[in-house]
Amino acid sequence: MDAIELHELYKQRYKGSSNWNSVCTSGSMFTTISASNDADERLAAVGCALNSMQRYLRGFGDDGYCSEGSGYWVYGFGHYLYLAQIVYDYTEGKINMFEFDNPEKLKNIGKYPERYEIQNGTCAPFADGFSSVSDNGGFAAVLSAKYLGARKPTARRRPSGSDRPERARRSPVSQGEASYQLIAWENIEAFLPDPNVDATTQEMPDHTYFDEFGMVISRGKQEVPFSIAIKAGHNSENHNHMDVGTYTIVLDRDNVTGDIGRPSYIAGAFDDDNPARSSWGHPVPRIDNILQSKGRKFSGTITATEFTEAHDKVVIDIKAAYEIPSLTKLIRTMENDKSGLGTISISDEFSSAEPVVFGTAIMTNDTYEVIDANTVILNSENQKLKAEILSEGASIKIIDELVPVEHLGEGAPAYRIGIDFTEPISEGTITVIYTPVI
């Protein structure tokens, strides 16, 4: 590796805002404190760690949102917390990274999993995340509860390399596991089961709004709860997918439709044109066969919200996510009617200076049946959902395709059920109305 490559690696890992920074910095810090006999060298390592962690925390919104997804909160923020603990212990409390220079933001980051949960332990697999809240009782959850005011975990276990399962399989005794265990032995009480914590008493709010990144969770409270998470965001987030406007719909415990999640980390997983990473593999519009572009300016903006006990509404302007000069309007509206069994609708309204071929998509990791050009039945393991499709401007057609990615974090196969106008038009609307089938 030459000097240029080393400099680039340094910029990525120690100046970046992704989990790489906290993981590499915490490992370096632990190694230096453990192995160096030079006090000045150890002090310099602490200073470097503080600088690096200022950059890492910029990857979170002040509201605590983790754009990398739930799994990387566990992995990346878990390493931040163990770094904070070893620096706190090494300096005898003189340096408190559990507060750092923004205690309120750190509290919000610590509470991210409980706010990001949709219902019944599920969450949206946005970016390279998972569809389950995966750290209930793990290292990051325990220290967030102890220091940052997060809710106490409902399950407890000894922290281990299984905080990132694929790494644990390759390295049964990892550096992370060893340092986690050292901290756990000094905080035995925090890792013991708490008989006073009951998972059934932890009521979820009717909605959660991460307003800095533009992500909303609208929760139904039916006997079989029916809820949605939807995001605006931008296309230069950490572990980015070109996914402005994406959503996930959950019926009880099943992610029935919406975001299909990340490609598994094999060759080609991080290519921009990977079908599971591009907007083709997300439930968002495609216009004149043009997909969303990559970069910070390609973004969505939440322009209006309405939250009540019975009805939620979110309006997102997603036009800026596309490099289409003729496009004059592209508005996505989500409405969640929480009465009865529940009804969730996604409506895309567009206009263009010249006719375009416009379409959107229903995505699923489960089986489905196309009943006709206006009806699709989606079947998850335990639930069934009807998608009724309405259009204004022209008639529509359905073209369903297998997502050509064999290895997906949420499980393959996955399918793109394309919904397209049958002819180019200058303005129109496609609305998909989802209702549970009992």
Q: How distant, in Å, are the alpha carbons of 146, 364, 388 from that of 275?
A: 41, 14, 25
In which band, very low, low, confident or very high, does the pLDDT at 187 lie, cut at 50, 70 and 90?
confident
pLDDT at 152: 81
In which band, very low, low, confident or very high, does the pLDDT at 6 lie, cut at 50, 70 and 90?
very low
Over 90: is that where the pLDDT of 81 sits?
yes
Residues 399-421 pLDDT 10s? 999 999 999 999 989 999 999 99
User: d(Cα 169, Cα 159) in Å, to the nearest integer?
Assistant: 15
Over 90: is that where the pLDDT of 424 sits?
yes
**Which residue is associated with the tokens 């390399």?**
161
Contacts of 273 (CB under 8 A, 6+ apart): none
Q: Give the mean pLDDT of 380-387.
A: 96
Residues 336, 337, 340, 343: is their CA dihedral positive or negative? negative
User: d(Cα 268, Cα 270) in Å, to the nearest integer?
Assistant: 6
Burial of 109 by CB count in 10 Å (0-12 exposed, 13-18 middle, 19+ buried)? buried
pLDDT at 183: 76
Residue of 75, 80, 167, 68 whose CA lies nearest to 123: 68
**Which residue is associated with the tokens 């909605």?**
207
pLDDT at 11: 53
Whole-structure pTM value: 0.90
DSSP 77: I
* Element of type H or E holding 74: none
In which band, very low, low, confident or very high, does the pLDDT at 69 lie, cut at 50, 70 and 90?
confident
Q: Give the mean pLDDT of 55-81.
A: 93
In which band, very low, low, confident or very high, does the pLDDT at 13 lie, cut at 50, 70 and 90?
low
- Among the listed ranges 45-59, 192-206, 309-323, 328-342, which one has the minimum average pLDDT value? 192-206
> Token pair of 161, please?
């390399």
For the chain, the structural domain boundaries read 3-200, 205-436
pLDDT at 133: 73
pLDDT at 151: 87
According to CATH, what is the number of the domain 205-436?
2.70.98.70
Q: Which residues partner with 316 through β-bridges?
A: 302, 332
Q: Which residue has the higher pLDDT, 315 or 130?
A: 315
DSSP notation for 52-66: HHHHHHTTB-TT--B
Residue of 345, 389, 347 whose CA lies nearest to 368: 389
Q: Give the mean pLDDT of 110-128.
A: 94
The angle at the Cα of 277, spanning 297 to 109, to the nearest 5 degrees, equals 65
Share above pLDDT 90 across residues of the chain, in percent, rounded to a whole number: 78
Over 80: is that where the pLDDT of 7 sits?
no
Q: Give the mean pLDDT of 305-325.
A: 98
pLDDT at 135: 60
Residue 299 CB coordination number (10 Å): 21
Contacts of 195 (CB under 8 A, 6+ apart): none
Q: Which residue has the higher pLDDT, 15 or 430?
A: 430
The phi and psi torsions of 238 (rounded to 5 degrees) equal -65, 135
pLDDT at 190: 72
- Among the listed ranges 179-193, 341-355, 415-429, which one has the minimum average pLDDT value? 179-193
Over 70: is that where the pLDDT of 383 sits?
yes
User: d(Cα 363, Cα 92) in Å, to the nearest integer?
Assistant: 52
The phi and psi torsions of 103 (rounded to 5 degrees) equal -60, -35
DSSP notation for 124-180: ---TT--SB---TTSHHHHHHHHHS-PPPPSS-----GGGSHHHHHH-SS-HHHHHH
In which band, very low, low, confident or very high, does the pLDDT at 336 lie, cut at 50, 70 and 90?
very high
> Token pair of 429, please?
């609307």
Mean pLDDT of the chain, nearest integer: 89
Residues 200-249 pLDDT 10s? 556 899 999 999 999 999 999 999 999 999 999 999 999 999 999 999 99
Over 50: is that where the pLDDT of 394 sits?
yes
CB 329 within 8 A of CB 231: no
User: d(Cα 30, Cα 43) in Å, to the nearest integer?
Assistant: 12
User: d(Cα 357, Cα 124) in Å, to the nearest integer?
Assistant: 30
Over 70: is that where the pLDDT of 167 sits?
no
* Element of type H or E holding 8: helix 3-14
CB 19 within 8 A of CB 71: no
Half-sphere CA count of 79, side-chain side, radius 13 A: 27
Q: Give the mean pLDDT of 9-19.
A: 67
Residues 254-300 pLDDT 10s? 999 999 999 999 999 999 999 999 999 999 999 999 999 999 999 99
> Token pair of 28, please?
């370096």
Over 70: is that where the pLDDT of 73 sits?
yes
